[in-house]
Amino acid sequence: MNQPHRKPDFDIQQLRLSCRECSVHELCLPSSLRGDDLIRLSDLVGHSSYDPGQHIFNTGDVFQALYVVQSGSVKTSVTTRDGGLQILHFHLPGELIGLDGLAEHHHQCTAEPLEPSQVCRLPYRKIEQLANDIPALQKQLLRIVSREFFLDHQHILMMGGRPAIQRLALFIQTLSHRKRLLHEDHRNLTLSMSRVELANYLALATETVSRLLARLQRLGVLRLERHNLEIVDMERLVEISGDDLELVPYPH
Amino acid sequence: MNQPHRKPDFDIQQLRLSCRECSVHELCLPSSLRGDDLIRLSDLVGHSSYDPGQHIFNTGDVFQALYVVQSGSVKTSVTTRDGGLQILHFHLPGELIGLDGLAEHHHQCTAEPLEPSQVCRLPYRKIEQLANDIPALQKQLLRIVSREFFLDHQHILMMGGRPAIQRLALFIQTLSHRKRLLHEDHRNLTLSMSRVELANYLALATETVSRLLARLQRLGVLRLERHNLEIVDMERLVEISGDDLELVPYPH
DNA sequence: CGATGTATTGACATTGATCAATTGGGGTGG
DNA sequence: CCACCCCAATTGATCAATGTCAATACATCG
């Protein structure tokens, strides 16, 4: 398991763009920062690439930084004593990872990319310093943490005693919604995770996921080949999902 | 739905005691506070009693304060558009409620006592002020928020594709563990919630919960009448639960 | 003491898990 | 470039766990 390779040089222009869509850009780009300050910013954050199999951090690791997905996707998971695994979340670009480490200075979960991914590292020490300079940032930080509860609540809601097809439909819906927040095409999704991982996340058997995806395809709700998914009939999808979920993650 | 009745006068001595076990006593009892400062403290927090049916706050309510259960127990839940309900957590004395409201200045869930309960109200404005006076408190506050992720992760883990009996066993185990943290008898629990609520929390049918409780009783693992539960064979309980859960909530 | 709601227990139905076999891709080496 | 291999995904057949429906027992409260 090799080390993540540091990107020695990167395009500030592109960074500025990608940061604009970031869920926590308040942390790195306080309104006071501009121009040359972006250089200072480049000093604050570290950008690394990770491949599947490399862990961004592991359960029990000392908490040192928060991470934001820049490109690709990352899964977080917890393991149980008996070797069981539960995936907690799939993180898309702009989404934050690592907050659960704040509590005990150790990470409570493991973060690992689903595909080659770029991740933005925000050393917590520096965030704290920055927050001391800019008091309003403290409030922001708290709000950002609080925001993460949405995700867990959605997950719990999704797992909560609904039929399998609803869970799957809900999942696809939230994925679509999150892509829309990134101003990307929300009808064409990429399921970067394996069926096994998706099944685990939804608390289903992989075979069930396969079958239900096939079913949704037969119903003309979506079209998929491999990991590319096109939502053909969004209304129907929402209908099947039970129109259940309050979709309010990461409101900008 | 009548208003919660204010306790006009209360016993500071008892308050001091109950606060000592509180999961967030760092917020109200910074080490610098002592003696007369406790009076100031009494100004900060409000103590209210709520009965079942009264809501402490509702989804969508403007976020103004955090709450800590002092006595009794409180459930938090979210509702879905189609009228579905999902219980997120049962809060015991010393546990915190309302953090999810920080993000958007509106509560994301509803909080309601399961039985007549006393709740401690921490106006957020005042917490912020206090935090300005004591910088270390800011860090504490963040850690407290982060700690709440444990609970959600536990919940997700509990729901995650395990057999019903494991979920139930895990739930009882965590309840027991939380009572122990309060230095109370952890072998005699009170299931203050109804079977319906418990089933909802575990994503099971109420009948299943009933049957499995009966089964655990037949197995000699526990003894229960109505809502009083005695754990007879803790080892067996842990064994049934799969010895799964990392029990690390609210470490003091 | 009766009424109402909650919990339990039973019979049955159904969803989704499990087991097993097959297909299909992507990568590797000849 | 093709052939093979390996892992992931799909599909099928079966079964078990748990949900659903229905009836009864139990408590609590007026």
| Partners of A91 in the β-ladder | A74
Best CA proximity match to B221, nearest among B236, B200, B208, B207: B236
Burial grade of A66 (CB within 10 A; 0-12, 13-18, 19 or more): buried
User: What's the confidence (pLDDT) of residue B65?
Assistant: 92
Catalogue the E-assigned strands of B56-141.
Answer: 65-71, 74-79, 85-91, 96-97, 110-113, 117-123
Q: Is the CB of A205 under 7 A from strand C?
A: yes
- What percent of chain A is modeled with pLDDT above 90? 45
Q: Is the CB of B224 under 7 A from strand D?
A: no
| Domain annotation for chain B: domains and CATH numbers | 9-140 (2.60.120.10), 160-247 (1.10.10.10)
Best CA proximity match to A242, nearest among A174, A179, A182, A185: A174
User: What's the confidence (pLDDT) of residue B67?
Assistant: 92
Strand-strand pairing, A222-225 and A228-231: antiparallel
Q: Give the sign of the dihedral formed by CA A103, CA B145, CA A251, CA B153.
A: positive
User: What's the confidence (pLDDT) of residue B250?
Assistant: 44
- A243/B81 Cβ within 8 A: yes
* Closest approach of A115 to chain B, Cα-based (Å): 24
- A78/B153 Cβ within 8 A: yes
By C-alpha distance, the chain A residue nearest B142 is: A142
Reported pTM: 0.86
Radius of gyration of the CA atoms of chain A, in A: 19
Least confident of A14-23, A142-151, A160-169, B52-61: A14-23
- List of chain B residues whose C-beta atoms are within 8 Å of the C-beta of residue A107: none
Enumerate the nucleotides of strand D whose atoms come under 7 Å of any protein CB: 8-13, 17-22, 27-28
Question: Among chain A residues 155 through 174, which have CB within 7 angstroms of nucleic chain D?
Answer: 161
User: What's the confidence (pLDDT) of residue B1?
Assistant: 43
CA angle (B135, B141, B144) in 5-degree steps: 150
Q: What is the pLDDT of residues A51-110, one digit of tens each?
A: 888 899 999 999 999 998 888 999 999 988 777 899 999 999 888 899 989 888 999 999
Under 8 Å between Cβ of A104 and A217: no
Mean pLDDT of chain B: 82
Question: Among chain A residues 177 through 216, which have CB within 7 angstroms of nucleic chain D?
Answer: 194-196, 206-207, 209-211, 213-214
pLDDT class of B2 with cuts at 50, 70, 90: very low
Q: What separation in angstroms does the CA of B200 have from each of B10, B188, B203?
A: 36, 23, 5
User: What's the confidence (pLDDT) of residue A129?
Assistant: 79
Euclidean distance between the first and the last CA atom of chain B, given in angstroms as a whole number: 37
**Tell me, in Å, how far CA of A245 is from C1' of D14?**
35
Q: Is the CB of B165 under 7 A from strand D?
A: yes
Q: How many CB atoms lie within 10 A of CB A212?
A: 20
Average confidence (pLDDT) over B109-120: 92
User: What's the confidence (pLDDT) of residue B30?
Assistant: 54
Element (H, E) at A79: strand A74-79
User: What's the confidence (pLDDT) of residue A81?
Assistant: 79
Q: Is the CB of A203 under 7 A from strand C?
A: yes
- List of chain B residues whose C-beta atoms are within 8 Å of the C-beta of residue A84: 160, 242, 244
